């Protein structure tokens, strides 16, 4: 009989690598595609901060305004490689992420600014002053 060695998918892998497929299985689609944000209204400005690590803000992010909603859309592409003498492993991850945030009525797109630093997108929108309410006036109805 010849001495055959069997290949095992569990050889040379860390416990964390083995758990990765299970983690991805239990992660919901909504959870994977939702951008985490925090909102703060202070001194007449609404600030929305969004967690977007590992992206190029000039190529991978789109911000739009429609129907008093701020829409943030981002795409990420990651590639990891592991090389050693006897093996090669490569993994690609692609993903689209989105989030809509309600804005105060009357926010104008031209007033909104956005910056990106250290994996955080910050969008600032001036909050319009409330229009003064027109005082109620009673209108007399005459018989015609």
CATH code at position 95? 2.60.40.790
What b/e readout covers 28-46, taking b as 16+ CB neighbours within 10 angstroms? eeeeeeebebeeeeeeeeb
Q: Is residue 45 situated within a structural domain?
A: yes
pLDDT of residue 15: 58
CB 126 within 8 A of CB 45: yes
105 — pLDDT class (breaks 50, 70, 90)? confident
Q: Is residue 96 situated within a structural domain?
A: yes
Q: Is residue 144 situated within a structural domain?
A: no
Q: Is residue 26 situated within a structural domain?
A: no
Q: Is residue 6 situated within a structural domain?
A: no
pLDDT of residue 7: 47
Backbone angles phi, psi at 33, to 5 degrees: -100, 0
Whole-number mean pLDDT of the chain? Answer: 79
Q: Is-above-0.85 flag for pTM?
A: no
Q: Is residue 28 situated within a structural domain?
A: no
Q: Is residue 75 situated within a structural domain?
A: yes
Per-residue pLDDT, averaged over 48-72, amounts to 91
Q: Domain count of the chain?
A: 1
Q: Is residue 69 situated within a structural domain?
A: yes
Range of the domain at 93: 33-126
């Amino acid at each position: 009989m010849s001495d055959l060695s069997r290949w095992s998918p569990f050889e040379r892998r860390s416990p964390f690598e083995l758990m990765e497929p299970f983690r991805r299985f239990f992660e919901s689609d909504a959870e994977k595609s939702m951008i985490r944000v925090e909102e703060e209204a202070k001194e007449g400005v609404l600030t929305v901060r969004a967690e977007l690590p590992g992206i190029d803000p000039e190529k991978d992010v789109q911000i739009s305004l429609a129907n008093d909603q701020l829409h943030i859309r981002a795409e990420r592409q990651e590639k990891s490689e592991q090389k050693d003498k006897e093996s090669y492993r490569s993994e690609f991850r692609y993903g689209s992420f989105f989030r809509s945030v309600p804005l105060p009525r009357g926010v104008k797109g031209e007033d909104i600014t956005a910056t990106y630093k250290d994996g955080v997108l910050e969008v600032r929108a001036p909050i319009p002053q409330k229009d003064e309410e027109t005082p109620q006036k009673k209108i007399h109805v005459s018989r015609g």
